[in-house]
Amino acid sequence: MTPPEAPQDGTNATTGDTAPAVSLRLAVLTKRADFQRASRAKRVATPGFILQMRPRRAGEPSDAPIRVGFTCSKKVGNAVARNRAKRRLREIARLTLPHRGRAGMDYVFVGRREATATLPFAHLLADLERALDTLHGVKK
C-alpha cells in the first residue's frame, strides 16, 4: 500500500480556521487540592453536567493559561458509564475551551447521573456554551 500523494499546487491537506490538534491540548488538573478549590468557586448546573470555574491566584503555578479537570462519581454508573461520560466531557472541553475559555482559569466538569453519557452531543456543546456565558457574565 502506498501513501497518498501530496498536493502539487503547494496547498496543505488541512482546511478550515481551526488550529492544529497539538495546540488545542488543555492542561489537566490532577491534584485533589485543585478540585477542592474549584468546588468552592462559582458553578453552573446544566442538564448534562456541572461546570465549576475558579480564577487562579498570582502565587499559584501557571503551567498553562487554561486548566481543566473532569470527575464522575460512582453515582454516574459503572466504570464503563463513567469513562464514557468523561470522554464526552473531554471532547466538549477540547472543542470549546480554547476559543471560549479565559486565561488564568481552572474549569472542572462534573458528570451527572444518567445524563452525561446519554444526552445528544450537540446538547452537551450547547450546555457548555450557555454555562460559560453565565460564568463569564456575558449578557445575551
Instruction: Assign residue 42 the CATH number of its domain.
Output: 3.30.230.10
Would you say residue 93 lies in a domain? yes
Would you say residue 2 lies in a domain? no
DSSP per-residue codes, 21-70: GGGGPPEEP--HHHHHHHHTSEEEE-SSEEEEEEEPPTTS--SSSEEEEE
Q: What is the share, in percent, of the chain residues with pLDDT greater than 90? A: 61
Would you say residue 40 lies in a domain? yes
Would you say residue 80 lies in a domain? yes
Total domain count, the chain: 1
The alpha carbons of the chain give a radius of gyration, in whole angstroms, of 17
Would you say residue 12 lies in a domain? no
| pLDDT for res 16 | 53
Would you say residue 72 lies in a domain? yes
**pLDDT for residue 132 is more than 60:** yes
Q: Is pLDDT larger for residue 62 or for residue 49?
A: 49
Please state, rounded to an integer, the average pLDDT across all residues of the chain.
85
Q: Is pLDDT larger for residue 16 or for residue 90?
A: 90
Q: Is pLDDT larger for residue 138 or for residue 9?
A: 138
Domain that holds residue 64: 26-136
Contact predicate 82/43, CB 8 Å: no
pTM attached to this predicted model: 0.79
Would you say residue 20 lies in a domain? no
Would you say residue 1 lies in a domain? no
pLDDT for 6-28, tens place per residue?
667 766 655 555 554 445 568 88
